[in-house]
Amino acid sequence: MGKVLTHMTMSLDGYIADPDDQVGELFEWYSAGEVSVPTANEDISLMVDEAGAEALSELTSNAGALVSGRRLFDIAGGWNDTHPIGAPVVVVTHSAPDDAAERWPTTTFVDGVEAAVAKAQEIAGDKNVTIASANVIQQALDLGLVDEVCVSLVPVLFGEGIPYFSKLRRGHLLLEDPVVLQGRRALHLRYPVRR
């Protein structure tokens, strides 16, 4: 079984989007370089620096499934049923869209974070599962399901918005020292969760 990772791009003051769910300058690093990074979704192209390409490769080369919250899934239009990392998507939701089977045939809709991570691990097999929704990440951290917290930290202050992290019900969580990749417009950090 692979690892369970989280990954979000975050402003220096801790936000993954502004109050209107807009990412603004957060994704500037996806077009700040000369290295073309292919994605599984032909509608999305990335041109990052070498460090960004390395960080993306580490996150996606062994990705077997992605867990998303319903809010992010809806904002992204379900990625047209093809997430850029090319892995199957498991969406945490209390109710799947009525047209889910026709519109998103490769996406799985599951009620509850623990069940969604378990389904993603089943789909992923020996590969990694990546969680890419702030609220789902919070719940997975509280449940002790996360092996590694990954952050692409960008040089912008939002002042307000949707936080990557908020109050943990279990209290503080200790992480190991980070693996650091300094990139253009992003500092890529990977923190193993201390067990």
At residue 32's C-alpha, the angle toward residues 136 and 38, to 5°, is 65
- At residue 182 the predicted structure's pLDDT band, cuts being 50, 70 and 90, is very high
pLDDT tens track for 14-63: 999 999 999 999 999 999 999 999 888 888 889 999 999 999 999 999 99
The ranges assigned to domains in the chain are: 4-192
Q: How far apart are the first and last CA of the chain?
A: 17
Q: In this model, does residue 167 exceed pLDDT 90? A: no
- pTM for the model stands at 0.93
Query: What amino acid is encoded at 174 in this protein?
Result: L
The rounded distance, in Å, linking the Cα atoms of 110 and 90 is: 7
What single string gives the DSSP state of each residue in 100-120?
HHHH-TT-EEESSHHHHHHHH
Among candidates 84, 75, 88, 87, which has minimal Cα distance to 44? 84
CB count in 10 Å sphere of residue 95: 9
How far apart, in Å, are the Cα atoms of 94 and each of 16, 70, 110, 177?
A: 23, 9, 7, 36
Q: So what's the architecture of 4-192 in CATH? A: 3-Layer(aba) Sandwich (3.40)
Q: In this model, does residue 171 exceed pLDDT 80? A: no
- What would the two tokens of residue 46 be? 């990335």
